[in-house]
Amino acid sequence: MRAYERLLKYVVVHTTSDEESESVPSTNIQFDLARLLEAEMKELGISDVSVDEHCYVTGRIPATKGCENAPKIGFIAHLDTAPDCSGENVKPLIHENYDGKDVFLKNGRAITTKLFPHLMTLKGRTLITTDGTTLLGADDKAGVAEIMTMAEEVITKGIPHGDIAIAFTPDEEIGHGASLLDIEKFGADFAYTVDGGPENEIEYENFNAAKAVFKIKGVSVHPGDAKDRMINAALLACEISSMLPAAETPAHTQDREGFYHLTDIKGDVENAEISYIVRDHDASLFEAKKKTLNMIEKIVNEKYGEGTVVLTITEQYRNMIEKILPHMHIVDTAKECIKEQGFEPLDVPVRGGTDGAMLSYRGLPCPNLGTAGYAFHGPLEHITAEGMDTVVNVMCAIIKKYA
């Protein structure tokens, strides 16, 4: 079975995660895909298949004879889809021998060459899109499908290999996908998440990340008697926002440039709250951004009175490159295998976080491979069958090299 055929089967299973939930998994519907995969993995002959109480699906393909001492390689993808757009009642559309032109969907939506110039390079391929009413779910059901197809090829074609560990995780889209994976049980020396963009993509850098929340306590008095008495918390939230660099926002930055992203602002005269996510690839610039926030807290309290503003900064994840650099053979091997498929490796810094970042800091070096998908998290999401085949071939080539 080709990877895209599995993708078509998986995307119709509703698995959206819930960022408001405190349970793991955040939604029980993720078990529906987990159980489907459990049965399929057993049918393929994968060993030690299990689904734990937190919806982590794991399995192992034991080393072939003579390869028992080869490195143990892991492959990881996630079950959930992003809550940004509906993932229920997905109706994928197949465009065979795609003509490289604009694709018109329902709800007046279109995947256009103006928005996505790469579409012209996909001419002649089998393009898979949504019908325009939901996301597709290639993020990351494409990764799941590609890992499953790789496993089938390794087993049925008798490809020599060391131990191969497989895991499918819940809740990646809400930042919890790798937190409860039992790394010791997983048993890999290193791993690859399969959760990126184009088929020639390799990612091993991501943002350093933190959440920052200013809680503001105002003084509410009658506006007719407010002179030198009122402190308007809502206005103060606006003042705090104006103290940050206007150019350092997601709308004005790219590549390795960091930002402050205002995610939420609420309040009234008496109380207000303003929330940011803070990002930078460079660790020293990241620390400087946090110092800027602390300085704003200090300045505002000196101006309006101690305790007017309380800032809480919570670190979320770190740049995985610090943990990947001592093991760069993982990246170099992937690049070699991408070149063997006729592509130039696309070395991309992730403007976000990945399961691989958390896993790398937990002791499992874990860069990220592309899935061949584009425009994730929305109704313009698309992918090609041929691109997915390439990803499967890259994984099989990595396995052969380490064997």
What pLDDT sits at residue 179?
Answer: 86
Q: What is the CATH number of the domain that holds 237?
A: 3.30.70.360
| Residue 96 designated active-site | no
Residue 98 pLDDT level (bands cut at 50, 70, 90): very high
Q: Quickly tell me which residue has 């465009």 as its tokens.
A: 95
What pLDDT sits at residue 281?
Answer: 94
Same domain, 332 and 398: yes
SS3 4: helix
Residue 107 has pLDDT above 80, yes or no: yes
Number of other residues whose CB lies within 10 A of the CB of residue 169: 28
What are 20-35's pLDDT values in tens digits? 898 999 999 999 999 9
Using the 3D structure, point to which of 317, 351, 372 is the last residue of a domain. 317
What are 126-157's pLDDT values in tens digits? 999 999 999 999 999 999 999 999 999 999 99
What are 368-384's pLDDT values in tens digits? 999 999 999 999 999 99
**Which residues are registered as beta bridge partners of 273?**
215, 266
The identity of residue 69, as a single letter, is: N
Same domain, 159 and 102: yes
Residue 56 pLDDT level (bands cut at 50, 70, 90): very high
Residue 314 has pLDDT above 80, yes or no: yes
What pLDDT sits at residue 19?
Answer: 87
Q: Report how far apart, in Å, the C-alpha atoms of 68 and of each of 166, 226, 327 are.
A: 17, 78, 21
Residue 305 pLDDT level (bands cut at 50, 70, 90): very high
Using the 3D structure, point to which of 282, 317, 352 is the last residue of a domain. 317
Share of the chain above pLDDT 70, in %: 100
What pLDDT sits at residue 348?
Answer: 85
What pLDDT sits at residue 75?
Answer: 98
Same domain, 8 and 110: yes
What pLDDT sits at residue 178?
Answer: 86
In 3D space, the residue among 89, 78, 83 whose CA is nearest the CA of residue 16 turns out to be 83
Selected catalytic residue, list 80, 163, 205, 381: 80
What are 227-263's pLDDT values in tens digits? 988 999 999 999 999 999 999 999 999 999 999 999 9
Separation CA 383–CA 323 (nearest Å): 31
Same domain, 305 and 293: yes
E-assigned strand segments in 4-64: 47-51, 57-61
> What average pLDDT does the segment 168-197 reach?
93
Instruction: Give residue 237's domain range.
Output: 208-317
Same domain, 235 and 332: no
Residue 355 pLDDT level (bands cut at 50, 70, 90): confident
| Structural domain count, the chain | 2
Same domain, 247 and 325: no
Residue 272 has pLDDT above 90, yes or no: yes
Phi and psi angles of residue 275, each rounded to the nearest 5 degrees, phi first: -120, 140
Cβ atoms of 278 and 210 within 8 Å: the answer is yes
Is residue 140 reached through a cis peptide bond, with omega within 30 degrees of 0 on the bond before it? yes
Same domain, 191 and 86: yes
Using the 3D structure, point to which of 296, 317, 338 is the last residue of a domain. 317
- Of how many residues is the chain composed? 403
Same domain, 142 and 283: no
What pLDDT sits at residue 316?
Answer: 85
Separation CA 376–CA 137 (nearest Å): 8
Q: What is the mean pLDDT of the chain?
A: 95
| Residue 32 designated active-site | no
> What average pLDDT does the segment 160-184 reach?
93
Same domain, 160 and 75: yes
What pLDDT sits at residue 296?
Answer: 98
Same domain, 200 and 113: yes
Same domain, 198 and 270: no
What are 34-43's pLDDT values in tens digits? 999 999 999 9
What pLDDT sits at residue 95?
Answer: 97
Residue 225 pLDDT level (bands cut at 50, 70, 90): confident
Q: Which residue has the higher pLDDT, 122 or 20?
A: 122
Separation CA 369–CA 196 (nearest Å): 6
Selected catalytic residue, list 140, 146, 152, 172: 172
Phi and psi angles of residue 51, each rounded to the nearest 5 degrees, phi first: -125, 120
Same domain, 48 and 94: yes
Q: What is the CATH number of the domain that holds 18?
A: 3.40.630.10
Cβ atoms of 359 and 179 within 8 Å: the answer is no
